[in-house]
Amino acid sequence: RKEVEQDPGPFNVPEGATVAFNCTYSNSASQSFFWYRQDCRKEPKLLMSVYSSGNEDGRFTAQLNRASQYISLLIRDSKLSDSATYLCVVNIWAAGNMLTFGGGTRLMVKP
Amino acid sequence: SQTIHQWPATLVQPVGSPLSLECTVEGTSNPNLYWYRQAAGRGLQLLFYSVGIGQISSEVPQNLSASRPQDRQFILSSKKLLLSDSGFYLCAWSPSTGYNSPLHFGNGTRLTVT
């Protein structure tokens, strides 16, 4: 079983739609969580951290469910520019600042 | 503010040739430094990380090596490239303090071994 698993997609959605991605992690000792965005042939960029109580940044909402060991990302009112691959990232503090990346979920927003 | 520079952006090398990729960070001191590789259509694989000058940990045994000759400089090398070394190489940094820090990536080097 992979440490961090994501549905690779692609998720094809129309502009203005709401779309959600889930990510599961296997190590219950995981302590911090992030979502990154990666555009085609570019480096990953931090989208947002994920906090225990859930957090929102504009159209983006991240949630953490420790009991079920998954995190989610919700994108409201999708824009064409949201088309990208979204990477789920998990940090197990016991191993130092070692982040483990999921394989990514590809999102394609259509006009 | 902190910035990370990585070069070259693209590289085409024949099998058996050496490799040297360089990464430097500005605006911070004693960062944690990382080398990742992303094969085409695949996830990120951690190759090396460093918590200080001369301190290198390898995550995956292979024909690559890393060095940290200065606090904010991280170099990825190979004596003889293999076809399987092709990929997108990413250098990243995080602050040395605190375990809740995300990584910040350089622009990456796209390596094609022919």
* Residues whose CB falls within 8 Å of the CB of residue B8, separated by 6 or more in sequence, listed in order: B21, B109
Is A32 in contact with B100 (Cβ distance < 8 A)?
A: yes
Predicted pLDDT at B43:
85
Residue A79 three-state SS: coil
pLDDT tier for residue B110 given thresholds of 50, 70 and 90: very high
A vs B, Cβ pairs < 8 A, gives 49
Residue A6 corresponds to which tokens in the numbers above?
Answer: 């994501």
Report the percentage of chain B scoring pLDDT > 90. 77
Predicted pLDDT at B34:
94
**Closest CB to A101 among B32, B44, B104:** B44
b/e sequence B34-43, b meaning 16+ C-beta within 10 Å: bbbbbeeeeb
Residue A47 or B2, more confident: A47
Is B88 in contact with A87 (Cβ distance < 8 A)?
A: no
Cα separation, B81 vs B67, in Å, equals 17
What Å distances lie between residue A99 and A66, A77, B35, B75, B103, CA to CA? 17, 30, 12, 20, 8
State chain A's mean pLDDT as an integer: 92
Nearest-CA neighbor of A31 among A85, A108, A97, A82? Answer: A97
Which whole number is the average pLDDT over A68-93?
94
Predicted pLDDT at A93:
66
What Å distances lie between residue B4 and A11, A56, A69, B23, CA to CA? 32, 28, 33, 7
Predicted pLDDT at A99:
85
Residue B83 three-state SS: helix
Predicted pLDDT at B96:
78
Tens of pLDDT, residues B47-103 = 999 999 999 988 876 889 999 999 999 999 999 999 999 999 999 999 877 667 899
Contact between residue B47 and residue B64 where contact means Cβ atoms under 8 Å apart: yes
CA quadruple A94, A104, A107, A38: dihedral, nearest 10: 80
Of the residues B48, B105, B107, B112, the best mutation for testing chain A's interface (the one with the most A CB atoms within 10 Å of its CB) is B105
pLDDT tier for residue A94 given thresholds of 50, 70 and 90: low
pLDDT tier for residue A24 given thresholds of 50, 70 and 90: very high
* Residues whose CB falls within 8 Å of the CB of residue B47, separated by 6 or more in sequence, listed in order: B35, B36, B37, B58, B59, B60, B62, B64, B66, B76
Predicted pLDDT at B77:
96
Predicted pLDDT at B5:
95
Residue A4 corresponds to which tokens in the numbers above?
Answer: 């961090």
pLDDT tier for residue A73 given thresholds of 50, 70 and 90: very high
State chain B's mean pLDDT as an integer: 92
Which whole number is the average pLDDT over A5-30?
93
Predicted pLDDT at B98:
63
For the cut 70, the answer to whether the pLDDT of residue A85 exceeds it is yes
Q: Which residues of A touch B32 (CB under 8 A)?
A: 96-97
For the cut 90, the answer to whether the pLDDT of residue B27 exceeds it is yes
For the cut 90, the answer to whether the pLDDT of residue A11 exceeds it is yes
